Amino acid sequence: MRRVAVVGASGSGKSTLAAALAEKIDGTSLELDELFHGENWAPTPTPEFRRRVAEALDTDRWVVAGNYSVVMDLVHGGADTIIWLDLPRWLVTWSVVRRSLRRVIKREELWNGKRERWRNLVSPHPEVNVIVWAWTHHAAHTKRYEGFLTSPFWAHADVRRLRSRREVAQMMSSIR
């Protein structure tokens, strides 16, 4: 396990797992959100985003957290291990609620000076409200990754589908 892609719904624990796993394998942890979101949450244009990701992957050991389609060929294609955090929708949504409230109350910085805002948490629009996003996009992630399990896209990698926090903890304790 030297190059790992961690995928799953918002709130599944991708970033947390990626950071812990990178430390265990003495690798670099990379959050795709950090490379994608520019000033005032503006999206990075695809060519620039792909360049940034390719540069970040130009190392021997890495763990990448994220689901961005436009860089899947780079991330998944270069991974020797793919970890799919396939947790129940209720659990990931609850995790996003708790995380977002903590971030707003404590004014925690995400990356590049960005913070979640109260007004986003009351918006009904998934593009603005990460809680609504987590709830409405969960099924799409499941469908996508179930398809990858049976297609050649992930055939080159050791794929681990983890369905509970307990399975995540067991996997982490098995890594030396």
Record the tokens describing residue 104, joined without a space: 């707003």
Can you give the pLDDT at residue 121?
A: 67
Residues written for the chain: 176
What's the pLDDT at 158? 96
Name the more confident of 144 and 122: 144
Distance between CA atoms of residues 129 and 2, nearest Å: 34
Name the packing angle between helices 165-174 and 14-24 (round to 10°).
10
Going from the N-terminus, what domains does the chain have, and what CATH number goes with each?
3-88+138-174 (3.40.50.300)
Whether the CB-CB separation of 61 and 28 falls below 8 Å is answered with yes
The residue among 118 and 142 whose pLDDT is bigger is 142
pLDDT at 79: 98
pLDDT band at 95, cuts 50/70/90? confident
Do 84 and 161 meet the contact criterion of CB atoms below 8 Å apart? Answer: yes
0.85 exceeded by the pTM? yes
Lay out the sheet containing 158-162: strands in order across: 28-31, 62-65, 3-8, 81-85, 158-162
CA pair distance 47, 51, nearest whole angstrom: 6
Give the model's confidence band at 98: pLDDT under 50 very low, under 70 low, under 90 confident, else very high: confident
pLDDT in tens, 145-172: 999 999 999 999 999 999 999 999 999 9
* pLDDT tens-place string over residues 36-47: 987 777 889 999
What is the pLDDT at residue 165? 94
